[in-house]
Amino acid sequence: MLVAPLLLLLLPLPPTFGAQLPNQGPLATNGDPFPWDRMRLPQTIYPVHYDLTIHPNLTTLDFTGVARIELDVREDTSTVILHAKHMRISGVLLLGPEGARPLRVLEYPRFHQLALVSDSLLIRGRKYEVQLEFAANLSDSYHGFYKSSYRTSTGEVRMLASTQFEATFARGAFPCFDEPAFKANYTIRIVREPRHIAISNMPKVKTVELPGGLLEDHFDTTVKMSTYLVAYIVSDFLSVSKTTQHGVKISVYAVPEKINQTAFALDAAVKLLDFYDDYFDIPYPLPKQDLAAIPDFQSGAMENWGLTTYRETGLLFDPSKSSASDKLGITKVIAHELAHQWFGNLVTMEWWNDLWLNEGFAKFMEFISLDVTYPELHVDDFFLGKCFEAMEVDSLSSSHPVSTPVENPTQIQEMFDDVSYDKGACILNMLRDFLSPEAFEMGIIRYLKRYSYQNTVNSHLWESLTNICNSDDLDEGRIKHAEFCSKHKRPSGASKWYSDAELDVRAIMDTWTLQEGFPLVTVEVRGREVRLSQERYLKTDDPSLTEGFLWQIPLTYMTSASNTIHRFLLKTKTDVLHLPEEVDWVKFNVNMSGYYMVHYAGEGWNTIIKLLHHNHTALSSNDRASLIHNVFQLVSIGKVRLDTALELSLYLSKETEIMAVTQGFGELVPLYKLMEKRDMKELENQMKGYIVDLFRDLIDRQEWTDNGSVSERVLRSYLLLFGSVRNYEPCLTKATQLFKKWKDSDGTMSLPVDVTMAAFMVGVRTPEGWNFMFEKYRDSLQMSVRSRMKSAMAFSPLQDKLQWMMEQSLHGEIMKTQDLPDVVVGISRNPHGYKLAWDFLRANWHTLIKKFDLGSSTVSYMVIGVTSQYSTREMLDEIRSFFGSLTEDTGSEMRCIQQAYETVEDNIRWMDKNLPLLQAWLNKRRRRVSHEDL
């Protein structure tokens, strides 16, 4: 799944509603003892096959169904414990060797469990089935079997029903064993009206006419899979189709008026499924793969096997209206979900504590696959950003290990975060660089083949990546793998990476997955000697929290003396390297392929600053971006003075590469964003002026067109937007002119896509401009255009409009509620709106957690987004007072609240320590610049 997020309803239940009273076991809703007292299901019974018939009614917005589940009894028992949530259960039968007989049903809503109690024992090894009838309302949220709607261009509202079961929501759609290790086959039938179609994981085999004019679609039986991957949709969608080289039928489904925006996604899906088929050397096991654009969808996308689902913005593309970054985003989302068809669907983590085995891999494979299939997207330019985002969360003491114990649904939801996705991808990238791409590829193919249709834990992956070349199941038929192994049987300079005594993949990777955080490596060069030490990088005023951490770090470095990348595995707290000769400079973590930061002690940073000022292209753009990132992050923990970091940033006036430029903005812009929320106009304007001056030449060189590579276009869009928002005269004038022309043409004039954000941001400053934009937003069917308009409207200085936008998004009629999180966070970053966003979050908290779910990444995104730019003790008290008043049922235990506190505390420390330094440095620079002008 790609996160924006999902949901679940954890309502506080009155004691009669499945209580657990002190000193006695749990009680069912009828007051009888409930025969199971754990949240995880027992392992006495496993499902083998589900026969499901589902009948949704899109008029009454509810559904009924029958589930027949074939059981594998592994221990004698008289109870079947399974999941069901918020549904009415009836007609429960046991079908066994003695015929059909009714079972007693007990419900325990606290754990969403049902107990089906038999008056005689179910005997191990015998064949049994249970049959249950069920009924429920279509969910109002974005998970389970939920209702969605869209408005046609004539204003008609049409309904559909769709599913989202990851992580724990299949139990809200049908009774099931809703844990990933209970894999089974599914045969699904859907009852519908003739005006709708139904689609599911597998192709339809036939349609049967039922009395009353209804139709029943029968779908082929699925492969063995987890409950969270089951999917079905009843809608009036249209589709377009193509077939891959391997003979798989790919179809893209969308609402009728948007079907003309599906061509790009269809071609991308064909290309990517073919790539994965070859790369993993395992044929995609289903006859078809559908991609459906759902009008109401909370996460980014979901990898249901054979029927992946997406937000409309994640799938629909209009070549004349969508930007370069839209194209990049859509391609990455499709690459992510299709990678899951192997990582996650074919081989699934045993439990949610190892979610990263699904999500870290899918995130990582986005970059591997697009590098080959869409080289023109230059996807490598965007990978580092993911590692920096992960480090942001991972530098707080509220972070968690990649693999971390979770029990209840809220904790499971919280696993869908930057640590599982982005840190997961970054440590896999580090391992691939360390082992070599060939060895890594061979190891993951072995992993997928060895555990197909099974469930795995962390250690299974590390075993598969160990002793690559002397394995029984190595496929010698793959020529490049055979060549790789024969080459590595000969001793060479790199051979120590492959000798068994040296390389214990599990021992290395356990240090990255079983402890939270990441290392800071301090490097001090003295002549030919390089002294190394490691510690945990942590933003805290309590140094004791960094103790007790040790990583095995695959260090890489290069020096002024040669372009060779040298490698060294740092296993201890300190170590010493010896260089063959003295050098002018040394750069560790080449291309930032390792998930760690580097501090250059002694004269180290001054040497690097000198190199960047005189010959910055001696280092790659990724290396330059990582130096910008590391030096500013080291200011936060007091290892480097702020003026050192600012001196380094001066080189950016010569920078042209997207990764380094955006990282420069990424470190400098937050400094004035903190000031915008305090009363310090003069310093804030000085800081803004410094950033505009730094990038002035680069901004002036940008054309107001759509020419160039994807990276050039994404950079242009960013620079012109920045110049316009900061009122840099040439940009402001041009953006104002463009908006006026567009408005005068009644929105029919075609603006260059890359500059629309700049024009829109300037245009919505007036009530007249804002109202015109809103009118166009409401009428547009172009998802990417609507998305840009929404962002611009949220950045308007008109406070009444900002408040209205948040209320309308919550209401969901004119603006979709799925977009509310982006609207609220957008407004919180607006200097005219941040107070409104904080007040709105507090006033509507209970509605928001019900709609978007406790623990979900959406709630986390809003909490962090709305609070992260405050830096005063008064605001910290206000934030603590609100979140401190919550109960566990309303979110008090969520990790994001701790992250919010820590982030504001860090901002306060930063401002207290560095404001005087910043003021002094900017003043000194102003004198220096005016001196040069004389």
Would you name the residues annotated as active-site residues? 337
Closest CA to 255 of 226, 287, 293, 227: 293
Closest CA to 249 of 286, 301, 222: 286
The angle subtended at Cα 647 by Cα 644 and Cα 648, nearest 5°, is 90
SS3 for 87-106 is: CEEEEEEEEECCEEEECEEE
Closest CA to 206 of 193, 220, 187: 220
* Residues in a beta bridge with 801: none
Q: What CA–CA distances, in Å, run from 445 to 270, 429, 439, 475? A: 21, 16, 10, 9
Pairing, β 197-200 against β 113-122? unpaired
Please report how many Cα atoms fall inside a 13 Å half-sphere around the Cα of residue 580, on the Cβ side. Answer: 7
- Rounded to whole angstroms, the Cα distance separating 83 from 688 reads 55
Output the furthest CA–CA distance in the chain (Å, rounded).
102
- Rounded to whole angstroms, the Cα distance separating 838 from 842 reads 6
End-to-end CA distance of the chain: 59
CB 896 within 8 A of CB 396: no
List the 232-235 sheet strands across, edge first.
144-151, 157-164, 232-235, 197-200
CB 830 within 8 A of CB 802: yes
CB 931 within 8 A of CB 695: no
Residue 167: is the preceding peptide bond cis (ω within 30°)?
Answer: yes
Token code pair at residue 333? 């989302």
The angle subtended at Cα 52 by Cα 38 and Cα 167, nearest 5°, is 45
Rounded to the nearest angstrom, the gap between the alpha carbon of residue 568 and the centroid of all alpha carbons in its chain is 32
Whole-angstrom Cα Rg for the chain: 29
- Provide the 3-class DSSP secondary structure of residue 80: strand
Percent of the chain as helix, strand, coil, to the nearest 5: 45, 20, 35
Nearest-10 Cα torsion for 835, 719, 609, 912 = -10
Burial class of residue 472, CB neighbours in 10 A (0-12, 13-18, 19+): exposed
> Residues near 262 by Cβ (< 8 Å), separated by ≥ 6?
240, 252, 254, 293, 315, 316, 317
* Residues in a beta bridge with 139: 146
H or E segment to which residue 564 belongs: strand 562-570
Token code pair at residue 186? 């599914």
Helix ranges (DSSP H) in 458-616: 458-464, 479-489, 505-513, 604-615
Q: What CA–CA distances, in Å, run from 357 to 370, 417, 930? A: 20, 13, 56
Token code pair at residue 92? 């429960």
CB 244 within 8 A of CB 277: yes
- Rounded to whole angstroms, the Cα distance separating 879 from 890 reads 15
Closest CA to 593 of 403, 393, 432: 432
Amino acid identity at 520: L
CB 144 within 8 A of CB 163: yes
Closest CA to 4 of 843, 820, 783, 791: 820
* Residues in a beta bridge with 33: 27
